[in-house]
C-alpha cells in the first residue's frame, strides 16, 4: 500500500460524523446536511434544477433500503443522466477491491441499515477521500435526487441498494455540486479514492513499434498484478461524445480494465506442449449492457480455441453484463487513452518490490512561483533535494495540483500547466540553490490535475523543482517521488544557514561561503602496480568532511562534483585523494586552498599540485578544481 494510505482523516468542512450522528439520534430527527442541502444549488452551479427533480430519502424510494445488498460489485454502478462515466468507471474498479472499499467507507457495518438498530438510524453517512495530500472524512445526509421515484444519477442494479448513490453524493459535495462532476478522468477519481498515484498513457505513444507495444502490455500486466486500478477510453470530439462505434464501444466513456492475461490456445493432450498464447484484456462498460462486438466478444467463434478449463478459470460468461474480453491488439487499435492509479508498495514487510517515498505538500505563492526552467525567476520555485544511491535508478515522479473542479463556480480558475525540472546539485546541498547546474530532466507540461513520469537517474544528489509553465501562477500542489532506496528527500527552505539559536558569543553565524567543484585529477600515483586505483576525494572544511564518488580503475579520474561550505573562521580547506579499498584506503595525495587568498578565487579553474603527508613531501599528480569564494551566501 501507499505510505500514509488511509491515515487519520480530517473532517471535511469541520463536520464530525460521530458528533452529528449522536445529535441526530438524540433529537429523533434524521440528519439534514446544511453544507450540501437537498436543494438546486447542490445539483447545479450554472442553472436552476428542473422542477420535476425531487429529493427523497432511501426509505421513500424502496422498501427495506440497504447500504449493501450481497456486498459490493460492479453491478452497483450504473450511470445516470450525469456525464460522469469517469467516476462510474473508477468506482466500479474500487467495488472489486474489498480492502480499499473498507478504507473509503469507514465503519461499513455500523453504516448499514439493520432492523435491530432501527431507532439508531440517523440518515447520515460518511466516506473518505484523498484531497491534495490529505485524507478528508466527508459527511452526507441520505437525501438523493429522483425523477418519477427513480434515482437520476448513479444507481445499483438492485433497487434497494444505495451505497453507490451515496458515494457519488459525497464526491459531488467535495466539488460543490453534481454538475461539477461533468467530464473528467478516471485516474483522478481513483487517486481521490485510494491516495494512489495517477498515470495517463496515450496509446499512440506505445503502438508505433512492436517493442513499445510489448512494453505497454508488460506495464499493464504488472500494474494489475500489483493491485493498480486501470481504465481505458476512446477520445471524442463534441458531438461524438457517447457515440457508439461499429464494434459496440462508446466514445468518451471510461471502461474499467479488470484483467490483463496471456491466454492459452488449443485443446486436447496433443496440443498441450505446443500451445500458443494470445495477449488479452478484459474490460467493463460502466453502463452495463453495451459490449464489444469484435473478435473474442461473448459467444464469438474465437472462444472455441480455448479449453473449457481455461474458460472456467477466466470466468467466461455469455451474460450481457457490460464485461468483455478483447485481444491486446484490438485493445490498442480501439482505445486511445489509458488511466492508471498505482497503489505503490512502500511496506518493508512485503515479498514484492518495496519503494521508498518522498512527499512534499507545497504551494506556488508570492515569491515562490517562478515558472518553468526558461524563466528568469525559475530558481524562486519550491525546491526539494534527494539522493539516488544506486548506480542507476528508475524514479517515479508524480506532481498533482489542487483540483479546481469546485472552482468552476463563478470566480474560480482553470488548471495550470504544470511540470517539473530535475537538476544536478552540490553533493552536500542543504540550502536553496541560487544558480543553475546541469538540467538532467524536464517533464512534459500539461493542463492536467496531475502528471506522472518515469525518470532514470544515475547515482548522485539532485534538486527537483515543481513548477507551473508560466510564472506568477499560484496554487497548491503535492509532489511524490518513489525510489529503490532511501532518498533522504526534503524541502530546501532556507537561502543560507539560519542564525544560531544560542546567544553565546561562541555561537557565531557563518560569514562567507566557498564553493568547490572537484573536476578531475591526473597522473595519480598507483599503490598497486597490478591494478589501477579507485580514487575519490575528501574535502575537509572547518571540521566538515565531504566525499566525492569513487571513480573505478583509473589514474586520471573525472568527477565534476560540486560542494558548498559555509564558514565562520575562514580556515584553509584541505582536499585529500584516496584509493578506495575493501579494508583500508590508500593515501594518494593532498592539496590545500589558502583562504588568505580568497579574493583570487572567483570561479575559475585551477590546477593544484599534490603533495604528501607533509607539505614538503612530494607526491605524484595534480588536481583540477573550480573555486568560488563569496560573502554573499544567498548567491551560491
Give Cβ neighbours of residue 285 (< 8 Å, ≥ 6 apart).
250, 253, 255, 291, 322, 323, 324
What are the catalytic residues? 85, 253, 285
**CA–CA separation, 163 vs 166, rounded Å?**
5
Distance CA 636, CA 633 (A): 6
Residues in CB range of 361: below 8 A, 6 or more apart: 132, 133, 134, 476, 477, 478, 479
Please choose, from the candidates 66, 55, 50, the residue with its C-alpha nearest in 3D space to the C-alpha of residue 32.
55
Q: What is the 3-state secondary structure (H, E, C) of 110-166?
A: HHCCCHHHHHHCCCEEEEEEEECCEEEEEEEECCEEEECCEECCCECCCCCECHHHH
Q: How many helices (H) and strands (E) does the chain have?
A: 11, 27
What are the φ and ψ backbone dihedral angles of 199, each rounded to 5 degrees? -140, 135
Sequence-ordered list of residues with C-beta below 8 angstroms from that of 602, at least 6 positions apart, any chain: 628, 629
* CB neighbours of residue 159 within 10 Å: 14
Q: What distance, in Å, lies between the first and last C-alpha atoms of the chain?
A: 40
Q: Could you tell me the strand order of the sheet in which 134-141 lies?
A: 10-11, 134-141, 124-131
Tell me if 421 sits within 8 A of 439, measured CB to CB: yes
The whole-angstrom separation of Cα 421 and Cα 384 is 11
Q: Which is it for the CA torsion 383, 628, 387, 438, positive or negative?
A: positive
**Residue indicated by cell numbers 421513500:** 60
Distance separating alpha carbons of residues 257 and 277, to the nearest angstrom: 20
Amino acid at each position: 500500500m501507499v505510505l500514509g494510505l488511509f491515515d487519520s482523516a480530517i473532517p471535511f468542512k469541520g463536520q464530525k460524523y460521530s458528533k452529528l450522528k449522536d445529535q441526530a439520534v438524540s433529537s429523533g430527527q434524521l440528519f439534514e446536511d446544511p453544507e450540501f442541502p437537498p436543494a438546486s444549488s447542490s445539483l447545479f452551479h450554472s442553472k436552476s434544477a428542473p422542477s420535476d427533480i425531487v429529493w427523497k430519502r432511501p426509505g421513500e424510494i424502496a422498501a427495506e433500503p440497504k447500504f449493501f445488498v450481497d456486498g459490493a460489485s460492479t453491478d452497483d454502478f450504473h450511470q445516470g443522466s450525469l456525464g460522469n462515466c469517469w467516476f462510474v468507471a473508477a468506482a466500479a474498479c474500487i467495488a472489486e477491491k474489498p480492502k480499499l472499499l473498507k478504507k473509503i467507507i469507514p465503519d461499513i457495518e455500523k453504516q448499514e441499515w439493520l432492523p435491530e438498530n432501527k431507532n439508531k438510524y440517523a440518515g447520515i453517512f460518511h466516506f473518505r477521500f484523498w484531497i491534495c495530500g490529505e485524507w478528508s472524512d466527508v459527511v452526507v445526509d441520505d437525501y438523493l435526487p429522483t425523477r418519477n421515484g427513480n434515482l437520476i444519477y448513479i444507481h445499483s442494479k438492485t433497487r434497494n441498494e444505495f451505497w453507490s448513490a451515496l458515494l457519488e453524493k459525497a464526491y459531488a459535495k467535495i466539488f460543490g455540486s453534481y454538475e461539477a462532476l461533468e467530464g473528467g478522468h478516471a485516474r483522478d477519481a481513483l487517486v481521490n479514492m485510494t491516495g494512489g498515484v495517477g498515470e495517463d498513457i496515450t496509446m499512440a505513444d506505445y503502438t508505433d513499434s512492436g517493442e513499445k507495444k510489448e512494453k505497454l502490455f508488460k506495464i499493464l500486466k504488472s500494474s494489475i498484478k500489483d493491485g493498480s486500478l486501470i481504465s481505458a477510453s476512446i477520445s471524442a470530439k463534441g458531438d461524438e461524445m457517447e457515440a457508439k462505434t461499429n464494434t459496440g464501444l462508446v466514445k468518451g466513456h471510461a471502461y474499467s480494465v479488470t484483467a490483463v492475461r496471456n491466454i492459452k490456445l488449443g485443446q486436447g493432450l496433443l496440443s498441450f506442449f505446443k500451445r500458443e498464447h494470445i495477449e488479452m484484456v478484459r474490460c467493463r462498460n460502466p453502463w452495463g449492457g453495451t459490449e464489444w462486438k469484435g473478435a473474442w466478444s461473448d459467444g464469438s467463434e474465437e472462444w472455441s480455441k480455448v479449453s473449457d478449463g481455461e474458460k472456467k478459470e477466466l470466468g467466461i460468461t455469455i451474460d450481457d453484463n457490460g464485461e468483455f474480453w478483447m485481444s491486446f491488439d484490438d485493445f490498442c487499435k480501439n482505445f486511445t487513452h489509458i488511466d492508471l492509479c498505482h497503489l505503490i508498495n512502500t511496506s518493508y514487510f512485503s515479498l514484492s518490490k518495496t519503494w521508498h517515498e518522498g512527499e512534499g505538500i507545497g504551494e506556488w505563492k508570492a515569491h515562490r512561483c517562478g515558472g518553468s526552467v526558461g524563466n528568469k525567476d525559475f530558481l524562486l520555485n519550491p525546491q526539494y533535494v534527494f539522493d539516488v544511491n544506486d548506480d542507476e535508478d528508475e524514479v517515479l515522479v508524480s506532481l498533482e495540483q489542487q483540483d479546481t473542479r469546485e472552482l468552476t463556480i463563478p470566480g474560480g480558475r482553470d488548471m495550470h500547466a504544470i511540470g517539473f525540472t530535475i537538476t544536478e546539485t552540490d553533493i552536500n546541498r542543504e540550502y536553496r540553490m541560487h544558480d543553475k547546474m546541469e538540467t538532467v530532466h524536464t517533464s512534459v507540461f500539461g493542463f492536467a490535475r496531475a502528471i506522472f513520469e518515469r525518470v532514470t537517474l544515475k547515482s548522485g544528489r539532485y534538486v527537483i523543482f515543481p513548477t507551473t509553465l508560466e510564472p506568477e501562477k499560484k496554487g497548491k500542489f503535492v509532489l511524490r517521488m518513489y525510489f529503490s532506496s532511501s532518498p533522504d528527500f526534503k524541502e530546501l527552505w532556507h537561502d543560507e544557514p539560519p542564525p544560531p539559536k544560542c546567544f553565546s558569543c561562541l555561537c557565531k553565524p557563518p560569514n562567507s561561503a566557498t564553493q568547490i567543484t572537484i573536476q578531475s585529477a591526473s597522473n595519480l600515483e598507483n599503490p598497486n602496480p597490478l591494478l589501477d586505483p579507485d580514487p575519490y576525494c575528501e574535502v575537509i572544511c572547518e571540521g566538515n568532511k565531504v566525499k566525492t564518488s569513487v571513480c573505478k580503475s583509473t589514474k586520471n579520474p573525472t568527477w565534476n562534483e560540486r560542494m558548498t561550505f559555509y564558514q565562520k573562521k575562514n580556515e584553509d580547506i584541505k582536499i585529500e585523494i584516496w584509493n578506495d579499498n575493501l579494508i583500508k584506503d590508500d593515501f594518494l595525495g593532498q592539496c590545500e586552498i589558502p583562504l588568505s587568498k580568497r579574493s583570487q578565487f572567483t570561479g575559475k579553474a585551477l590546477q593544484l599540485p599534490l603533495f604528501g603527508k607533509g607539505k614538503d613531501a612530494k607526491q605524484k599528480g595534480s588536481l583540477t578544481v573550480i573555486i568560488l569564494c563569496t560573502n554573499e551566501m544567498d548567491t551560491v
